[in-house]
Amino acid sequence: EKGGWSSFMAKEVSEEPEAVAKTVLGRIRDGAVVIPELEALDDLFRGITRVIVIACGTAAYAGMVGKYALEQWTRVPVDVELAHEFRYRDPVIGADTLVVSISQSGETMDTLMAVKYAREQGAKTLSICNTQGATIPRESDAIVYTHAGPEVAVASTKAFVAQITALYLLALHVGRVRGVLSAEQSAANVRELEAIPAKISRVLETEQAHIEQFARWMGDTQSVLFLGRHVGYPIALEGALKLKEISYIHAEGFAAGELKHGPIALIEPGQPVFVIVPSPRESAELHKKVVSNIQEIRARGARVIAVAEEGDAAVLPFADEVLRIPLAGALFEPLLAVVPLHIFAMGLATAKGLDVDQPRNLAKSVTVE
Ligand code: F6R
């Protein structure tokens, strides 16, 4: 069932455009999100005072991306917490808390136990899940399925973009219900979301071969760092996780603003650093800060690989390599910026002769603690 692909992971990365498209499909009417499961909770959405997103691993990074959209579009405070941390403390939750779980498999033990715990405490639970009829959605008050299709490779790729998409649909719906977003604002964001699949396809078409070649060339690398700000920060974490997971090298993601608080000490000549560069059109201020972070690490000898918007020339003098993504609204950039990082992790693992679908020590769904 791999079709012509060399691995399930390669096939699943190629399906990232579809994963977004199918998660949106049939859920939009006249520029508004229409999901009957959600409409049943509209009274709750009007009354909630906080949202807690719980998940593990890549799903938690999708949650971190979703936090920016949820807060911006609904003005409800959002916390994102690893399920295994959440369930072993004494979180402040109640009937006005919405707990959103995210899980590709729907079977992750820690996430399941956290959902059960939240319910016992009186919170309403909503499950974002890719697997029909899995345990976590069955234990939740409401479900929004991602329609990424079955994910076989251990490393999660297409499910990640589908999870962000589902969170955005949720955020747009809740934003409308709470009167934070106008119909026009909702429609504009829906248009952005609907344009994403074609833009991901463009990244695959224009950058895949280039990134794979670059990854082969980096085959001996021992350590890679990833930097991002705002929605680029969880993407940096995701890029690092994927690299650890399938290529077994040291990788770490940082918020770019943290550099001076410690991580910059790691920079020595030749250290590869991926930097997720925000759009200069969307946020001139953030863009300027990231370019200055690039200059700081470059001055210390870092090898800079910038993931930047098409046409952003400001990065050119300081980057050794530029991976391009199409133009998109600020909140939508993560759905594009993550794609080169998925391709890179796969390319490096392949260059090292590793089995990208079945990395050592890992299982697709973690049904034990
Ligand atoms: C990373 C990865 C894991 C999963 C995590 C949660 O590529 O696959 O970090 O994201 O184990 O799994 P689910 O989403 O099934 O709960």
* Probe target for ligand 1 pocket from 56, 103, 244, with the most ligand atoms within 8 Å of CB: 56
Pairing of strands 32-33, 28-29: antiparallel
pLDDT value for 197: 98
Give the HSE-up count for residue 179: Cα atoms under 13 Å, Cβ half-sphere.
Answer: 3
- 89 Cα distance to chain centroid: 26
Q: Which residue in 244, 289, 352, 364 is the catalytic one? A: 364
Strand order in 78-82's β-sheet?
A: 78-82, 50-55, 97-103, 124-129, 142-145
In a 3-state reduction of DSSP, which class is residue 275?
strand
CB atoms within 10 A of CB 251: 24
Residue nearest to atom 16 of ligand 1 (CA): 103
pLDDT value for 106: 97
Give the whole-angstrom CA distance, residue 143 versus residue 165.
14
Give the Å distances, CA to CA, from 254 to 258, 264, 332.
7, 10, 20
Residue 275, phi-psi category: left (phi > 0), alpha (psi -120 to 50), beta (remainder): beta
Atom of ligand 1 nearest to the CA of 157: 7
Each of the 369 residues of the chain gets a pLDDT tens digit; together they read 788 999 999 999 999 999 999 999 999 999 999 999 999 999 999 999 999 999 999 999 999 999 999 999 999 999 999 999 999 999 999 999 999 999 999 999 999 999 999 999 999 999 999 999 999 999 999 999 999 999 999 999 999 999 999 999 999 999 999 999 999 999 999 999 999 999 999 999 999 999 999 999 999 999 999 999 999 999 999 999 999 999 999 999 999 999 999 999 999 999 999 999 999 999 999 999 999 999 999 999 999 999 999 999 999 999 999 999 999 999 999 999 999 999 999 999 999 999 999 888 888 888 877
Residue 55 parent element (H or E): strand 50-55
Query: Who lines ligand 1 at CB under 6 A?
Result: 56-59, 103-105, 108, 111, 155-156, 241-242, 245, 365-366
Angle between helices 158-177 and 333-351 (to 10 degrees): 170
Q: For residue 283, with 0-12 CB atoms within 10 Å meaning exposed, 13-18 middle and 19 or more buried, which class applies?
A: middle
Alpha carbon of 159 to ligand 1 centroid (Å): 9
pLDDT value for 241: 98
Alpha carbon of 104 to ligand 1 centroid (Å): 7
The interface predicted TM-score (ipTM) is: 0.99
Q: Is 11 a catalytic residue?
A: no
* Probe target for ligand 1 pocket from 9, 109, 146, 156, with the most ligand atoms within 8 Å of CB: 156
Do 190 and 33 contact (CB within 8 A), yes or no? Answer: yes
pLDDT value for 173: 98
The residues with which 128 forms a beta bridge, in sequence order, are 102, 144
Give the whole-angstrom CA distance, residue 369 versus residue 367.
7
pLDDT value for 2: 87
Do 227 and 254 contact (CB within 8 A), yes or no? Answer: yes
* Probe target for ligand 1 pocket from 65, 102, 105, with the most ligand atoms within 8 Å of CB: 105
